[in-house]
Chain A
Amino acid sequence: MKLGPKLTIFFLLLAIVPTAIVGYLSYENGRRTIIQKTVDHLVSINIFKSNELKRWVKDNESSIEELAQRTWVREFAAVLAKHDIPDHAYQNAKATIIEDHLKPRLKYGGFFELFLMCPRHGLISASTDEKQEGKYRDTNPYFIEGKSHNYIHGIYYSPVLEQPAMTMSTPIKDKQGNLVGVLAGRLDLGELSKIISLQTGKSPTEDTYLVNTFNFFVTEPRFGQGYALKKAVRTEGVGAGLSGKDGVGFYKDYRGEPVIGAYKWLPEFSMCIITEIDQAEAFAPVARLAWVITGIASALSLAAGLLGLFFARTITRPLRQLAAGAEEIGSGKLEQRVGTASKDEIGGLSRAFDRMAGNLKTITVSRDELEQRVRERTAQLEVANKELEAFAYSVSHDLRAPLRALDGFSAALISGYPGKLDDQGQHYLNRIQAASQRMGQLINDLLHLSRVTRREFVTEQVDLSGFAREIAAELQAEDPQRKAEFVIEPQMFVQGDAHLLRIVLENLLSNAWKFTSPRPRAQIEVGMAEQTGEHIYFVRDNGVGFNMTYADKLFAPFQRLHGMREFPGTGIGLATVKRIITRYGGRVWPEAAVDQGATFYFTLGGIHEKTNYPAGRR
């Protein structure tokens, strides 16, 4: 990924992550606050309305109590209780109570019917509703309980009224404290409903209602008509409220709508009050909050992204320049410079890079010069080599001619002038001839050595064992009288130049042959040993050997460890061997002691080895 997008993404992340966290926390906080507020509101409505309810009940209770304690009411109630027959006094008392006391009270509201019951049989002796008079209420709880104290018969469905009803009763006593009647009043539940369903605010879904222990609505809910005491409601909130708990919950209401509801058990009424608000409404501010926070976060992220893009461009432009410069310099244009003027780290890097390019150029120039010099030297060396070859050529030609003359003319002297020279003269002439012949041999060997160095390698498979056998046979044939034993390891194959490798074996074997000549039975071995993966070839003899102190001198041209009289030779053989082995990248070294024989080891530098012998050559 390129630096530009990387930086942009980095900035974006840098903005998004904290914004998201802060946004989420704010949202959570806001949501909780809003919900808490809603919940508090619902709970306070419940408390407020239940207090209203209590107050309404209390007011009516006080109202009916006040009626029961009026002197006239007590006296006339006593009259009504004493007289079984509706005589004049009875009729008068009844009319007075109804007209002067009960009916005026209805005008204040609260009750829609007030009636007086006879303490003995529960007979309704006086009522604001004439139709009710003469009926017995002796089994009704409001009569039984009302005889001794104030009593409220909770909201129930009255089959008589064919509607929900609530009846309040209180005892009437005479001056002596004897029970003379029970005053009861039917409460107008419409008022209760008004209190309960009174809207406290502008909320379009806020809904308060009462539910009794039979799960029936007691008051009309907001979204229902004629539900009171006709329709059961079994929601989570109602269940909790009826089990005596106060609390709040999230559940589906009687419509199946998700709501937040507060429920409160009202033990004095054996009912619970429920206040609910639609979650859709309650959460509307939460959703708005979410939108606001998302909007702010998006705006912040966008700003951060743009900022990141801007920074990325600011930072990557010089970097791109640097990269382009590096590319140019890398492709060999060492004169190229990035040349950034900025004073920041990237500018520093660019300047360092330019310096490096400058140094590189210097180094490259030096290297080119060096290479040029090497080429020149090589050319000079080649010229020198050519000159040397030419020199060797003229040596071969020019030095031989005078030698031939020396030999020829001394021979002519010897043969052409017999008797003219005495023995001493004859001897000197012989010495001249011998010397010239030896010099001829030396020149031949030298040329041989120089040719070994110049010869081009021709690489092929070479059978060293075969060569050794051939050379051994040749040596034996030259001197058939000598007793010699050759031990040659079979199947030594190498990759190399047959001609040069044969020269190596010829020199080593003829040396072995030469230096074993004093032995009654010569033993010469040609073999191979393997040491740390390297093949070491050797030629071993039981000859006169030599002192290892002089081993170093062996391989220099014309160096000899034995006198000419002892063993003839020019001292060029081992030098030739050394040259050939060196050209192969191999090593050659001796191991010897005086009179203990000698062994010459050599390697061929590894790369020319071939160990898997072809079956055809066996």
Chain B
Amino acid sequence: MKKRIILLVEDNPDDEELTLMALKESNILNEVVVAHDGEEALDYLLATGKFAGRDPALLPQLVLLDLKLPKLGGLEVLQRLRTELRTQVIPVVVLTSSSEEEDILSSYRLGANSYVRKPVEFHRFVDAVRQLGLYWLLINEAPPNKP
């Protein structure tokens, strides 16, 4: 069985740690790769830059994408992903603090599979992450991972 990697794109170390903590508390033990900005996320997904040696066929099972990122914003990353044949169908869940209508609409238009606002209360955040993991990693049938 292939490794079901989760790509977490998050620049805020607090949020990164809280997300990892929440995943752990939810007993989601999949490998989590963290990209700290948009560029890094794209490098990983497309096996370029510092991830040039990586097997590009090996794609994450789920991308958790923050919108407000240094260098390349989340929406730009999303737009780029959807233009690449290989990454066109990867499930992307936008996980962000923003509840702006504009952001929600743009995300869906650019092909996000889901949009989740990070609740401020930790217990609700943990709850949201657990449900996400459960759904996208176990219930949802992922697209076939072919080169």
Q: Which residues in A have some Cβ–Cβ distance to B below 8 Å?
A: 393-394, 396-398, 400-405, 407-412, 436-437, 440, 444, 447, 451
Contact in complex: B123, A411 (CB < 8 Å): yes
Residues of B within 8 A of A437 (CB): 120-121
Contact in complex: A408, B98 (CB < 8 Å): no
**Interface flags, B105-128, vs A, CB<8A=1, else 0:** 000000000000011111101000
Residues of B within 8 A of A397 (CB): 67-68, 96-98
Flag whether B141 is at the interface (Cβ < 8 A): no
8 Å CB contact of A411 from B96, B101, B122: B122
19 more contacts with CB within 8 A, not counting A404-B118, A405-B18, are: A393-B100, A394-B68, A396-B97, A398-B68, A398-B97, A400-B118, A401-B12, A401-B14, A403-B120, A404-B18, A404-B97, A408-B21, A408-B122, A410-B122, A411-B123, A412-B122, A437-B120, A440-B120, A447-B99
Q: Which residues in B have some Cβ–Cβ distance to A below 8 Å?
A: 12, 14-15, 18, 21, 67-68, 96-101, 118-123, 125
8 Å CB contact of B14 from A405, A436, A444, A447: A405
CA distance A129 to B118 in the complex (A): 176
CA distance A407 to B119 in the complex (A): 10
- Given A405-B15, A436-B120, A440-B120, A400 and B21 touching (CB < 8 A)? no
The 7 closest A-B pairs by CB, nearest first: A440-B120, A405-B14, A408-B122, A411-B122, A400-B97, A408-B18, A397-B97
Chain A's nearest CB lies how many Å from the CB of B133?
17
Contact in complex: A407, B14 (CB < 8 Å): no
Contact in complex: B100, A396 (CB < 8 Å): yes
8 Å CB contact of A407 from B68, B99, B100, B122: B122
Contact in complex: A400, B120 (CB < 8 Å): yes
Chain A's nearest CB lies how many Å from the CB of B64?
15
Residues of A within 8 A of B119 (CB): 404
Chain B's nearest CB lies how many Å from the CB of A440?
4
CA distance A436 to B98 in the complex (A): 17
CA distance A574 to B135 in the complex (A): 40
Contact in complex: B21, A404 (CB < 8 Å): no
Contact in complex: A407, B121 (CB < 8 Å): yes
CA distance A410 to B121 in the complex (A): 10
Residues of B within 8 A of A410 (CB): 122
Residues of B within 8 A of A444 (CB): 99
CA distance A396 to B96 in the complex (A): 10
For chain A, what secondary structure do more than half of its interface residues adopt (helix, strand, loop), or is it mixed? Answer: helix
Chain B's nearest CB lies how many Å from the CB of A41?
121
Name 17 interchain pairs, CB-CB below 8 A, sorted by A.
A394-B68, A396-B98, A396-B99, A397-B68, A397-B97, A397-B98, A400-B120, A401-B14, A402-B14, A404-B119, A404-B120, A408-B14, A408-B122, A409-B18, A411-B122, A444-B99, A451-B101
Chain B's nearest CB lies how many Å from the CB of A411?
4
Residues of B within 8 A of A398 (CB): 68, 97
Contact in complex: B99, A404 (CB < 8 Å): no
Residues of A within 8 A of B97 (CB): 396-398, 400-401, 404
Q: Which residue of A lies closest to B99 (CB)?
A: A396
CA distance A451 to B104 in the complex (A): 15
Contact in complex: A404, B98 (CB < 8 Å): no
Residues of A within 8 A of B100 (CB): 393, 396
Contact in complex: A440, B121 (CB < 8 Å): yes
Chain A's nearest CB lies how many Å from the CB of B38?
15
Chain A's nearest CB lies how many Å from the CB of B57?
34
CA distance A451 to B100 in the complex (A): 9
Residues of A within 8 A of B123 (CB): 411
8 Å CB contact of B21 from A403, A412, A451: A412
8 Å CB contact of B120 from A394, A407, A409: A407
CA distance A409 to B119 in the complex (A): 14
Chain A's nearest CB lies how many Å from the CB of B147?
37
CA distance A277 to B118 in the complex (A): 136
Chain B's nearest CB lies how many Å from the CB of A412?
6
Residues of B within 8 A of A404 (CB): 14-15, 18, 97, 118-120, 122, 125
Chain B's nearest CB lies how many Å from the CB of A119?
165
Chain A's nearest CB lies how many Å from the CB of B17?
8
Chain A's nearest CB lies how many Å from the CB of B53?
33
Interface centre among A396, A409, A410, A447 (most CB of B within 10 A): A396
Residues of A within 8 A of B120 (CB): 400, 403-404, 407, 436-437, 440
Residues of B within 8 A of A407 (CB): 120-122
Residues of B within 8 A of A401 (CB): 12, 14-15, 97, 118
Chain A's nearest CB lies how many Å from the CB of B35?
17
CA distance A317 to B67 in the complex (A): 77
Residues of A within 8 A of B101 (CB): 451
CA distance A411 to B67 in the complex (A): 25
CA distance A289 to B97 in the complex (A): 117
Contact in complex: A408, B68 (CB < 8 Å): no
